[in-house]
């Protein structure tokens, strides 16, 4: 019996138009009415994710910033795993040495030092999610998006990284040249130890504390709710979903998932443009009713 479902956002619950279909909304509400708790698992901050979801009339919990923070449906913080300040400073030094643009993510803010880089990187992310977008059109959308409005631009990160009151939850780096641009930096960052290095797309890497991954965070939350691992399911499409697909009792790959996710998942559902989340939720509801 499935009692808890964690679901990725981009490429999973969101379709290629960055929208949640009526079919998926109805299925989430049906799951909740049938005692299946639904969590959104995303790299987004709490504020960003709530803005993205609540407008659809959905009241869910969230695994935020890849697992650094977990909130229940009442917005109560249940789990927190920040980057140690010393590690955050070391990571920043490595990225700067390799001339890689990066951003600092806290519980309630995303910090950037370069407006044009931020817009360009957001545009590339939008193009990844919608192949029909041209770069020029994606830039126009990115420049006026809520993601830009939620950013805070600073001259440099030195003050933030040395402020003991600032808890960095994640560092994300972007490069238009793709994953090969990060090869050396990733090796040096990994050598620092106790870190999770993932990717939510072909042009970024995301760095969290080793415990701040979607999988461990999901199981931490399940433990607090007294839900067994075999009663937990996770749905995703990309490499930053790997830990929760692996750790959940039932790992579900989207039809549009990257090959690695399909390899480790027990089940593959339909694509994000074919209401894949709603499809598998209806399967869970039916299976639970038979038990």
Tokens of 130: 């919608």
What span, in angstroms and rounded, lies between the C-alpha atoms of 227 and 222? Answer: 5
Q: Among 150, 123, 145, 149, which residue's Cα sits nearest to residue 136? A: 123
* Total-model pTM: 0.79
Sorted by sequence, the CB contacts under 8 Å of residue 216 that are 6+ apart come out as: 67, 243, 247
> Which pLDDT belongs to residue 60?
97
Quick one: pLDDT at residue 251? 98
Q: What pLDDT is attached to residue 122?
A: 73
Residues 6+ apart with CB under 8 A from 110: 45, 103, 104, 150, 151, 152
Q: What pLDDT does residue 36 have?
A: 98
Q: Using an 8 Å Cβ cutoff, are 176 and 203 in contact?
A: yes
Specify the pLDDT at position 285: 98
Mean pLDDT by 10 residues, the chain (291 residues): 97 94 98 98 89 94 94 95 97 97 91 80 71 74 61 90 95 90 97 92 89 94 97 94 96 97 98 98 96 84
Name which of 252, 253, 202 is nearest 232 in CA terms.
252
What is residue 280's predicted lDDT score, i.e. its pLDDT? 98
Two structure tokens written together for 193: 């130890």
- Return the pLDDT at 146: 59
What DSSP state is assigned to residue 58? -
User: Which residues is 151 bridged to in the sheet?
Assistant: 110
Distance CA 208, CA 47 (A): 19
**What residue has token string 């999770």?**
196
Q: How do beta strands 61-64 and 69-71 pair?
A: antiparallel
């Amino acid at each position: 019996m499935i009692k808890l479902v964690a679901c990725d956002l981009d490429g999973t619950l969101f379709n290629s138009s960055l929208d949640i279909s009526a079919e998926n909304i109805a299925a989430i509400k049906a799951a909740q009415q049938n005692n299946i708790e639904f969590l959104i698992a995303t790299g987004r901050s709490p504020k960003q994710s709530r803005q993205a979801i609540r407008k659809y009339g959905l009241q869910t919990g969230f695994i935020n910033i890849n697992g650094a923070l977990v909130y229940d449906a009442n917005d109560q913080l249940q789990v927190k795993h920040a980057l140690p300040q010393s590690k955050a400073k070391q990571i920043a030094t490595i990225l700067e040495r390799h001339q890689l643009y990066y951003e600092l993510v806290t519980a309630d803010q995303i910090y950037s030092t370069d407006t044009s880089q931020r817009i360009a990187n957001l545009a590339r992310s939008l193009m990844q999610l919608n192949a029909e977008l041209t770069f020029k059109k994606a830039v126009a959308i990115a420049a006026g998006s809520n993601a830009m409005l939620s950013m805070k631009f600073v001259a440099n990160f030195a003050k933030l990284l040395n402020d003991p009151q600032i808890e960095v939850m994640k560092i994300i780096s972007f490069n238009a040249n793709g994953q090969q641009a990060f090869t050396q930096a990733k090796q040096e960052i990994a050598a620092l130890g106790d870190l999770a290095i993932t990717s939510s797309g072909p042009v970024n890497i995301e760095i969290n504390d080793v415990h701040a991954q979607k999988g461990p965070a999901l199981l931490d939350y399940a433990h607090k709710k007294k839900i067994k691992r075999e009663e937990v399911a996770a749905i995703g499409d990309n490499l930053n979903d790997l830990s929760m697909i692996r750790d959940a009792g039932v790992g579900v790959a989207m039809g549009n998932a990257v090959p690695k996710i399909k390899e480790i998942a027990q089940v593959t559902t339909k694509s994000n443009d074919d209401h894949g989340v709603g499809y598998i939720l209806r399967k869970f509801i039916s299976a639970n009713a038979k038990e």
